[in-house]
Amino acid sequence: MSLDEGSQVDELFERAVKNHSRRLLAVARGIVGTRASPEDVVQQALMNLYEHRARYDWNDPGGLMRRSVVNESLRILRRPRMGMVVEDHPAPLESPLDGMVDRETVAQVRAAIERLPENYRAALVLCEYENMSYSQIAEVMSASIPQVKTWLHRARRQLAQLLTDQVEKPVAQSGEH
């Protein structure tokens, strides 16, 4: 690769990072939850891509970058559990009570998503948060479309059960007094 080509690849890489970093962070946050810092996941994925940047076409890098973040997220999930990470700063809401209810709901949903098996979680995040098609998810996760459909079906079923259990548990406990 010539110096001019290398400079052009660097510029395209930088532009890709600038244009996609928010979405990549959302993907990482959805998959790793509080098990790791989403920023660290994205940084490691981008460092891996940067190291081999000359191999890739940076004119349409969205799928490549998402795949890298998903792979790094799944790699992190396979490691032993780490400490808790501070939650996102919630946007100001109309009343303090609304904010408390919304934050509690978000926390319960995130906790339930974190309890899903890693492939279910990744497929669910890519489908629901990233609005990716089954074929896109299959490509990113190196799986077949029927496998993605199965993961999504099972993830939704388990998530519904986990959330139902969380809602019924406090009601049952309050009735025991």
Write the pLDDT tens digit of every residue in 134-161.
Answer: 999 999 899 999 999 999 999 999 988 9
User: Phi and psi (nearest 5°) for 54?
Assistant: -70, -20
CB atoms within 10 A of CB 74: 17
Tens-digit pLDDT profile for residues 94-109:
555 656 666 777 778 8
At 45 the pLDDT is 92
CATH code for the domain in which residue 48 is found: 1.10.1740
The boundaries of the domain holding residue 135 are: 93-177
Largest CA distance in the chain: 76
Residue 60 lies in a domain: yes
In the prediction, which pLDDT does 88 show?
46
The residue behind tokens 């940084």 is: 43
Of the chain, the percentage scoring pLDDT greater than 90 comes to: 29
Q: Give the residue with greater pLDDT, 131 vs 176.
A: 131
What's the number of domains the chain is made of?
Answer: 2
Q: Of 57, 82, 107, which one is at a domain's C-terminal end?
A: 82
Which residues, 6+ apart, have CB-to-CB distance to 150 below 8 Å?
Answer: none
Q: Which residue has the tokens 């891996």?
A: 48
User: Does the structure show a pLDDT above 50 at 40?
Assistant: yes
60, two tokens: 């349409």
Predicted local distance difference test score (pLDDT) of residue 79? 67
Among 56, 82, 108, the domain boundary falls at: 82
DSSP string, 126-176: IIIIT---HHHHHHHHT--HHHHHHHHHHHHHHHHHHHHHHHHHHHHHHHT
